[in-house]
Amino acid sequence: MKHPQKVEIDEIAFILSKEEIDEKLFALADEIRQKYLGKAVYIRGIIEFSNYCKNNCLYCGIRAQNKDITRYRMSIEQIIQRARLISQMGIKTIVLQSGEDTYYNSDMIAQLVKKIKEFNVAITLSIGERNFDEYKLWKDMGADRYLMRHETADEKLYEKLHPNDSFKTRVEHLKKLKELGYEVGAGSMVGLPDQDDLSLAKDILFVRDLDADMVGIGPFIPHPSTPLKNAKSGTLNKTLKMIALTRLFLPDTNIPATTALGTIHPLGRQLALKCGANVIMPNFTPLPYRSLYTLYPNKICIFENDIACAECTKNLVISAGYSVSNDFGYRRRFNEYITCRV
């Protein structure tokens, strides 16, 4: 007899292996999302405040060894001004994102969190692996969430893609963040080289077992200045299936319709909303920096007016048949629900 989790992995992998569009799966994911979370979509404004990074992840355009990139750092004052502007637009969550840039020390991040909390917003930090004392300080200062995607739960693949890092370390950080009381975000890329459907199935079961409060799932898009420049991109269909399956296993978690999906397909984010996603994270990085935060190439919405994303994103949500939420977007936990079986 197979172990129960082995059965789940095989079942998920089988669904992912089918090339046809699975309308029944997508409809079920949307039904579950609406049952637990309604039709409201949370808007979260991102400030990408630095593209310096000490790491050399093989897929990432801001990796330390990329010499073809113009680096930038926003000042504390610039970040605070931008956060104030986002809050004035009625957006209730601000995401502070950067590469792993230790120029911004513990006290600087604490200062940012303390000041931005005065704008009556929730704060998500997405700044990579730092030490546990820093996580505690920032939580004490008022940080609400921490986004740290695991990228792949296949341990061998993770360590191949992340030189001098380990999957075990990433898991330890995610668990510590939960212990400290953060809402914790994980998530994965779809279509990485050497990634198979069993690897993707592990990603879904990993976020289920972690009980992740946020799960970001997007397609791999090769960057021309990385070692994976000649690899194939992840596909829309398989990424949508991953979102839908994740919704079935975590009915009340928050799942964004990622910008990367909008990059590989003009309706990628709208389709994600119809497959179980309930969050959109528009980019409010100011000019001239927004075009320089190039995790992957051809990113959408980087040359438009740098505050136009608010109204555009709201229109996108409405056009897809959903409504825009005006609250802070904390996870609406349900003590009892039956995880849907595939």
CA distance 168 to 140: 26
Tell me the fold of 4-324. TIM Barrel (3.20.20)
pLDDT at 237: 97
- List helix spans (H) across the chain: 4-17, 23-37, 76-88, 106-116, 132-141, 155-161, 167-179, 197-210, 236-249, 259-264, 268-273, 309-319
| Residues 256 and 228 sit within 8 Å (Cβ to Cβ) | no
Token digits of residue 342: 């595939």
Residues 6+ apart with CB under 8 A from 69: 51, 61, 62, 225, 292, 294
Phi, psi of 55 (to 5 degrees): -90, 165
Residues 6+ apart with CB under 8 A from 23: none
Model confidence pTM above 0.75? yes
Residue type, 213: D
Cis preceding linkage at 251, omega within 30: no
pLDDT at 162: 97
pLDDT at 335: 63
pLDDT at 134: 98
Residues 6+ apart with CB under 8 A from 330: 122, 144, 183
| Tens-digit pLDDT string for the chain (342 aa) | 355 466 589 999 999 999 999 999 999 999 999 999 999 999 999 999 999 999 999 999 999 999 999 999 999 999 999 999 999 999 999 999 999 999 999 999 999 999 999 999 999 999 999 999 999 999 999 999 999 999 999 999 999 999 989 999 999 999 999 999 999 999 999 999 999 999 999 999 999 999 999 999 999 999 999 999 999 999 999 999 999 999 999 999 999 999 999 999 999 999 999 999 999 999 999 999 999 999 999 998 887 777 888 899 999 999 999 999 999 999 988 765 545 444
Q: Look at residues 152, 243, 237, 241 and name the one whose alpha carbon lies nearest to residue 196.
A: 152
CA distance 113 to 254: 22
Q: How many Cβ atoms sit within 10 Å of the Cβ of residue 36?
A: 17
pLDDT at 341: 43
pLDDT at 308: 82
CA 61 to chain centre: 16
3-class state of residue 292 by DSSP: helix
pLDDT at 307: 80
Which residue carries 């990228």 as its tokens?
151
